[in-house]
Amino acid sequence: MTNQPKSRDGYQWTKATGLVQGVPTLGLIQPPTHFTRGKNYDVIVIGGGYAGIITCRDLTLAGNNVLLVEARDRIGGRSWSSNIDGYPYEMGGTWVHWHQPFVWRELRRYGMVDQLEISPRKNVEGGARVTVNLDGEIKHLTHDDEDAIVESAFKKFINVDGQFGRTVVPFPHDIELHRAGVEEYDHMSMADRMVQVAPHLTPLEKNMFEGFLSITHGGKWEEASFFELLRWWALMDYNLPNFMELGLMYKIRDGQSALARRIFDEAVGTGRLDYTFSTPVKDVIDHGHGVEVTARSGGEVFKARRLVCTVPLNVLHTLAFSPKLPTLKTEASLAGHVNKVVKCHAEVANPDMRSLGATNYPHGRLTYTFGDGTTPAGNTHLVAFGSSLPGVHLDPEQDIEVTKEAFEAFHPGMNVQRLVFHNWHKDEFAQGAWEWLRPGMTTKYLKALRERHGNVFFASSDSSFGWRGFIDGAMDDGGRIAKLVHDELRDVHPIASKL
């Protein structure tokens, strides 16, 4: 096992070590604090995910003194990677694409565009195979068969307008430009739409497609908005090949934490970024002339002229604000998005698994797995996702034997050597995976979530424009809010901002 310093986050299991909490990562920040007590900063940023570190970088490069306050011991938020024996396992957000403009800008900026790897490894290594557990009968397919079946089902499911959703979401980067489509389908649940479409699906189509969707929204079907899928579909150019390529094909060779580290290090290099990690926030007080932040420990109080809060939607209500947050912000956070998907990696000593794609729905504790690379030991890397259906939801750390069995249920002869995962729905600073809103939440809450509250601004992938719920959305929102805050501070003190 590598001697690289470990974050407290994540879990790893091997036969030799048993279950160990904490995994090594490039995103760990040591020493964990670097700030001046009593200093009045231009801006405090709460949260060191992509929205937070982009905000910090852009503000510091523009000449502002910034303090980053982060509850974890690392950067990256819900997009971070372990680094075990030089091999990255993506614990959260993973895939990127050149059609995601803000991600691509950052990869180009840091000279990382040549670091993309194809993922999953379809028809690349080992025996190409797809298995589907259809009511106890194992179906063997090719990857081309799999794509054709899912595409057939997807088109039936998404085609509410005879044009595969194009008239419903013609402007996916600004849904307010076609409000009628949003209002009609935002109040429809995924369950509602499945009732309409199910009679037109073959048993195999229904099984495979439901399995796919269950790990897309990651929640109960009746609690997940159908509009969210329409929005994803539009962002991915209204067809399944693009849907899969833009959302599930290219990952960064050295892991997401390698990119996050470059952003953070550039901000630190300006000499204008201070930070304190392992510092959960208790409350935020806006005095009108400035903002005061108190750490949960009660031992530290930080002051600034403005504050940018980047904590996830499901966590926002756990911070106390004075004045209190507007009702719609609080209601939205208390309701929360629904995604409780489980993501788990396995290193298996079977090279034939390298091009595997396997579905075990609805009875498997893990729903879908695929080959995602070859580890330094020459073993196969599998990544798997599980839905949160009642009775099959998996907490991987609770019983490693159950987790191993969930992998082995996909295909015989896996020989699991290592497990790596982060349990997002039990993470107090995330309380869920990527954003997927409930029916009606987009129309009722999204605009309110973006609005400032006095001297407090909000940036988050959960409420961003465009690629909301994705890495690109977090970067987009961080840069957008950094510009708003800098312009306001410059207008308040135009001479000082030029110094």
What is the structure's pLDDT at 354?
A: 86
Please report how many Cα atoms fall inside a 13 Å half-sphere around the Cα of residue 301, on the Cβ side. 6
**Which residues participate in the annotated binding site?**
70-71, 281, 385
What are 25-46's pLDDT values in tens digits? 999 999 999 999 999 999 999 9
What is the structure's pLDDT at 125?
A: 52
Average pLDDT, the chain: 94
What is the structure's pLDDT at 494?
A: 53
What are 465-477's pLDDT values in tens digits? 999 999 999 999 9
Q: What percent of the chain has pLDDT over 70?
A: 96
- Mean pLDDT, rounded, for 420-445: 97
> φ, ψ for residue 495 (rounded to 5)?
-75, -45
- Mean pLDDT, rounded, for 451-457: 98
Q: Which of 140-144, 218-222, 308-312, 395-399 is predicted least confidently?
A: 140-144
What is the structure's pLDDT at 127?
A: 53
pLDDT band at 124 (very low <50, low <70, confident <90, very high): low
Q: What percent of the chain has pLDDT over 90?
A: 87
Residue from 460, 482, 343, 483 nearest 49 by CA: 460
Structure tokens at 22: 């904490």
pLDDT band at 111 (very low <50, low <70, confident <90, very high): very high
Pick the CATH number of 24-115+254-336+434-492 from 1.10.260.40, 3.30.360.10, 1.20.20.10, 3.50.50.60: 3.50.50.60
Dist CA 360 CA 367 (whole Å): 5
Contact 397, 66 (CB under 8 A): no
- Mean pLDDT, rounded, for 209-227: 95
Non-local (6+) Cβ contacts of 466 within 8 A are 172, 173, 174, 235, 472, 473, 476
- Mean pLDDT, rounded, for 373-381: 93
- Mean pLDDT, rounded, for 57-80: 98
**Which residues participate in the annotated binding site for substrate?**
385
Q: Where in the sequence of the chain do the CATH 3.90.660.10 domains occur? A: 117-252+342-422
Does the pLDDT value for residue 392 go beyond 90? no
pLDDT band at 495 (very low <50, low <70, confident <90, very high): very low
Pick the CATH number of 117-252+342-422 from 3.90.660.10, 3.40.190.10, 2.60.40.420, 3.30.70.3040: 3.90.660.10
What are 156-173's pLDDT values in tens digits? 999 999 999 999 999 999
pLDDT band at 176 (very low <50, low <70, confident <90, very high): confident
**Which residues participate in the annotated binding site for FAD?**
70-71, 281
Dist CA 279 CA 31 (whole Å): 13
pLDDT band at 121 (very low <50, low <70, confident <90, very high): low
What is the structure's pLDDT at 499?
A: 31
* Position 92, amino acid: G
Q: For residues 414 and 100, which has the higher predicted lDDT (pLDDT)?
A: 100
Dist CA 449 CA 462 (whole Å): 9
Q: Which of 130-144, 176-190, 422-436 has the highest mean pLDDT?
A: 422-436
Structure tokens at 301: 């109080």
Q: Where in the sequence of the chain do the CATH 3.50.50.60 domains occur? A: 24-115+254-336+434-492
pTM of the model: 0.95
What are 241-300's pLDDT values in tens digits? 999 999 999 999 999 999 999 999 999 999 999 999 999 999 999 999 999 999 999 879
Dist CA 229 CA 468 (whole Å): 12
